[in-house]
Amino acid sequence: MAAPMEVAVCTDSAAPMWSCIVWELHSGANLLTYRGGQAGPRGLALLNGEYLLAAQLGKNYISAWELQRKDQLQQKIMCPGPVTCLTTSPNGLYVLAGVAESIHLWEVSTGNLLVILSRHYQDVSCLQFTGDSSHFISGGKDCLVLAWSLCSVLQADPSRIPAPRHVWSHHTLPITDLHCGFGGPLARVATSSLDQTVKLWEVSSGELLLSVLFDVSIMAVTMDLAEHHMFCGGSEGSIFQVDLFTWPGQRERSFQPEQDTGKVFKGHRNQVTCLSVSTDGSVLLSGSHDETVRLWDVQSKQCIRTVALKGPVTNATILLAPVSMLSSDFRPSLPLPHFNKHLLGAEHGDEPRHGGLTLRLGLHQQSVLGGQDQLRVRVTELEDEVRNLRKINRDLFDFSTRFITRPAK
């Protein structure tokens, strides 16, 4: 029986001829291309081994393709705003998307929007499920990383705001990437930030296990399957390898490039945007703003293949190719349903829910306000005011971040 084939799935922000390209990892042969739009950073996901989802850059929808019907756009999943990041649960039952500072959770079988979580204060920048789909992790520009229990989110009292299991607030600047290892609720999570640190957390206890300080901002992070090494992509193009089993163990350490010369991958001319490791841990895939995807030998730190794209690379990941990607006659077990843009019941005039908070007013209150129409007008005015305040807050935060992180003259 032939060994499973590993493929590289890549997107760039230009996408003049295709949205996504799939090539065989070791030979470099092009296998598939998908057309229709430009996928944004952290915006590519495989759904149940049957569909490819791509959050469109700066657009308020997610494109979906059947893996073998690459020239036909299967569906557009409409969202209330531009999608900032996207992921799917490993069991294929749920889709998560970041829309501004909110997290939207859909059920795949019905297309129902189950809940909108609004616990971040700035845009959500990255999302990922644990391997058993029991938890998901979110990182945002507000410097927060939140660990959520899926069961708690789905069973939350509608009158209460669902709370994350852990709130990790040790980072001091926006979160750029996160990676969740194996182990389900016992997994370890690596997070990177513009504050020049990468931190390693434990989902079960919420404890900070490790913090590594670098000389540059870290834009991407990943680990090998055995979690022996952590790979960190820098804003100037270098990739740093952090060994997780060095002795003696230190909770806080600094990475010294001049002392760890054998732990640095050099070749990209601009910031690294995404990283992925092969199943056996021998090959590292990286994408960069220099419009190239590079394949590295982990042991020698040498670049073994360079693929030039047409724009800054937004996504590059290594996958074990599912049967549906390699078989020309494969069809999905179920068609993809229509994904609802609004929470279940909201489009029928029921009580609107925002982040689990249900707005309830009794008949007496409604009569005081002058009826249902006036209530709706007032709610709309308040929502517009909150939206405007969030925009002002976001602009101030972005300005402060640019001012703090600008290079010294």
The CATH number assigned to the domain holding 164 equals 2.130.10.10
The two structure tokens encoding residue 349: 């005039």
Asked if residue 80 has pLDDT above 90, the reply is no
pLDDT score at 371: 58
Band (232; pLDDT cuts 50, 70, 90): very high
Per the domain annotation, does 394 fall within a domain? no
Average pLDDT over the chain reads: 86
Residue-wise pLDDT for 10-68, tens only, equals 999 987 788 899 999 888 888 888 888 889 999 999 998 889 999 999 899 999 988 87
What is the reported pLDDT for 393?
79
Confidence band for 361, pLDDT divided at 50, 70 and 90: very low
Strands 208-213 and 252-254: parallel
Is 376 part of a structural domain of the chain?
Answer: no
Q: What is the pLDDT of residue 126?
A: 97
Give the phi and the psi of residue 363 in degrees, each rounded to 5.
Answer: -60, -35
Q: Side chain identity at 114, as an amino acid letter? A: L
Q: Is residue 270 scored above 70 in pLDDT?
A: yes
Mean pLDDT of 170-191: 96
Q: Which residues pair with 354 in a beta bridge?
A: 357
Reply yes or no on whether the pLDDT at 357 is more than 50.
no
Strand ranges (DSSP E) for 208-298? 208-213, 218-223, 229-234, 239-243, 252-254, 264-265, 272-277, 283-288, 292-297
Residue 387, domain member (yes or no): no
| Residue 342 domain-assigned (yes or no) | no
Q: Which residue has the higher pLDDT, 56 or 71?
A: 56
Q: What is the pLDDT of residue 67?
A: 84
Flag whether pLDDT at 351 surpasses 60. Answer: no
Length of the chain: 409
Residue 364 lies in a domain: no
- Close Cβ partners of 249 (under 8 Å, ≥ 6 residues apart): none
- 186: pLDDT strictly greater than 90: yes
Let me know if residue 389 belongs to a domain.
no
Single pTM value for the model: 0.83
Whole-angstrom distance, CA of residue 104 vs CA of residue 356: 12
What's the rounded mean pLDDT across residues 64-86? 83
* Cα separation, 56 vs 78, whole angstroms: 11
Question: What is the share, in percent, of the chain residues with pLDDT greater than 90?
Answer: 61
Q: What is the pLDDT of residues 97-152, one digit of tens each?
A: 999 999 999 999 999 999 999 999 999 999 999 999 999 999 999 999 999 999 99
Query: For the residues 329-355, what does the mean pLDDT come to?
Result: 67
Let me know if residue 309 belongs to a domain: yes
Q: Which domain holds residue 113?
A: 6-325
Please say whether the beta carbons of 68 and 76 come within 8 A. Answer: no
Distance CA 209, CA 11 (A): 33
Q: What is the pLDDT of residue 354?
A: 47
The answer to whether residue 355 sits within a structural domain is no
pLDDT in tens, 193-217: 999 999 999 999 999 999 999 999 9
- Report d(CA 207, CA 74) in Å as an integer: 42
Q: Above 60 in pLDDT, residue 368? A: no
Dig out the tokens for 298 from the structure.
């982990």
Q: Please count the structural domains in the chain.
A: 1
Question: Cα(204)–Cα(181) distance, rounded to whole angstroms?
Answer: 13
Span 314-332, pLDDT tens digits: 999 999 887 666 666 677 7
